[in-house]
């Protein structure tokens, strides 16, 4: 724990022992606990994020939105909200539940989050983000981080981003994940906001140069571990989202490539065995195989039989009695010769 003094107020800032060289982006409807378990089977080092969970869901929702498997660590809760009291209460709950970090969503551009006054629109209110972060950090002993865009709408100058980073970092944030696109809060869908605004990696590099003591990670358009390595020559971390979801086996070599792990690279066959056992356990507890299998459709992409693999998972996972056997049967349809 380090202490930073700003305006006469002592800020307790937890030291972060997690290596953020590579992380999987929080993705709504995708990075649930089954998806994260699947990713952890392939990489022990990559940092995993939950889907964005709102303060309202945690405090008033009927389901357990914070459930996870112990194997998922290091694990970050991405939290959506803007009320300091609610954010602080949720931070306490997340720490009690065992999360390693909490990340404040200041990047999602959807109408729903704008109506709730959180997500990317908060880039225009750095003082509110700073207030949330400062109160959260004072209440818990785990790090609070921020994920943002490089700008919003016509507020897209470098000076705008610099002011945001500066004000929030003075409140105690030591790690920023920056999606290297700005967000259009009206006129573009969330999907278009992930593709249409141009990427500006150099702007994120400049932030690192201007704030060398901060941990800066980059997100947006990164498609390989080789590209990740290039960014790591300028920055502290890389976050990849859709590319990992569509081609998850990319994670299998992450530990060896980025962390120089001496452990052997896990084979697809080993992944299948571990996940089939996981599915059997989940089904025996009353779950449905498809809840897990839907995240595994891209595991064999690029090989003969990959289409048959996907089709068998889709067609058979909804049948009565479907379990890990469905996954093994689908894998038998793939040729790696």
CATH architecture of 268-331: Up-down Bundle (1.20)
Name the pTM for this structure: 0.92
Q: What pLDDT does residue 111 have?
A: 63
* Amino acid 1: pLDDT: 45
Domain boundaries, the chain: 2-258, 268-331
For the cut 60, the answer to whether the pLDDT of residue 173 exceeds it is: yes
Average pLDDT over residues 221-226: 97
Active site residues: 108
With left for phi above 0 and alpha for psi between -120 and 50, is residue 12 left, alpha or beta?
beta
Q: Which of 145, 140, 114 is nearest to 49 (CA)?
A: 145
Distance CA 180, CA 150 (A): 6
* Residue pLDDT, tens place only, 37-51: 999 999 999 999 999
Task: Inform me whether the pLDDT recorded for 258 exceeds 90.
Answer: yes
The per-residue pLDDT for 163 is 98
pLDDT winner (highest mean) among 16-25, 26-35, 189-198: 26-35
Integer-rounded Cα Rg, in Å, for the chain is 20
pLDDT beyond 50 at 54: yes
* Mean of pLDDT values over 10-22: 71
Whether 9 has a pLDDT exceeding 50, the answer reads no
196 versus 197: the higher-pLDDT residue is 197
163 Cβ contact list (under 8 Å, min separation 6): 126
Q: pLDDT digit string (tens) for 142-155?
A: 999 999 999 998 89
Could you read off the pLDDT of 266-315 as tens digits, one per residue?
999 999 999 999 999 999 999 999 999 999 999 999 999 999 999 999 99
pLDDT in tens, 67-107: 999 999 999 999 999 999 999 999 999 999 999 999 999 98
| pLDDT at residue 114, as a whole number | 54
CATH topology of domain 2-258: TIM Barrel (3.20.20)
pLDDT of residue 5 exceeding 50: no
pLDDT in tens, 100-145: 999 999 988 776 655 667 788 999 999 999 999 999 999 999 999 9
- Which long-range contacts link 286-293 to residues 24+ away (Cβ below 8 Å)? 288/317, 288/318, 288/322, 289/317, 289/322, 289/323, 289/324, 289/326, 289/327, 290/317, 290/318, 290/322, 291/32, 291/34, 292/34, 292/38, 293/317, 293/326, 293/327
Q: What is the pLDDT of residue 193?
A: 62
């Amino acid at each position: 724990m380090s202490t930073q003094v700003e305006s006469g107020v002592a800020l307790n800032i937890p030291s972060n022992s997690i290596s953020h060289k590579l992380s999987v982006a929080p993705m709504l409807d995708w990075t649930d606990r089954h998806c994260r378990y699947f990713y952890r089977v392939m990489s022990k080092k990559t940092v995993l994020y939950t889907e964005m969970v709102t303060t309202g869901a945690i405090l008033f929702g009927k389901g357990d939105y914070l459930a996870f498997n112990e194997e998922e660590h290091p694990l970050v809760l991405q939290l959506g909200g803007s009320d300091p009291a609610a954010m602080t209460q949720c931070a306490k709950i997340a720490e009690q539940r065992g999360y390693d970090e909490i990340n404040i969503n200041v990047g999602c551009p959807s109408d729903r989050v704008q109506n709730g006054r959180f997500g990317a629109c908060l880039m225009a209110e750095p003082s509110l983000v700073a207030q949330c972060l400062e109160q959260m950090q004072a209440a818990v002993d785990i790090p609070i981080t921020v994920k943002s865009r490089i700008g919003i709408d016509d507020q897209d100058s470098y000076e705008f981003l610099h002011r945001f980073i500066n004000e929030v970092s003075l409140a105690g944030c030591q790690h920023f994940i920056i999606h290297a696109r700005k967000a259009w809060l009206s006129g573009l869908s969330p999907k278009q906001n992930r593709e249409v605004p141009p990427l500006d990696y150099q702007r994120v590099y400049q932030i690192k140069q201007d704030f060398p003591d901060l941990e800066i990670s980059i997100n947006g358009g990164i498609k390989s571990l080789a590209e990740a390595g290039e960014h790591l020559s300028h920055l502290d971390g890389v976050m990849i989202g859709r590319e990992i979801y569509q081609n998850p086996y990319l994670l299998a070599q992450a530990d060896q490539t980025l962390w120089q792990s001496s452990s052997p690279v896990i084979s697809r066959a080993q992944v299948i065995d571990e996940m089939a056992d996981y599915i059997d356990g989940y089904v025996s507890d009353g779950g449905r195989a498809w809840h897990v299998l839907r995240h595994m459709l891209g595991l064999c992409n690029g090989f003969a039989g990959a289409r048959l693999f996907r089709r068998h998972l889709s067609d058979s996972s909804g049948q009565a009695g479907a379990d890990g056997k469905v996954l093994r049967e689908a894998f038998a349809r793939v040729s790696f010769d």
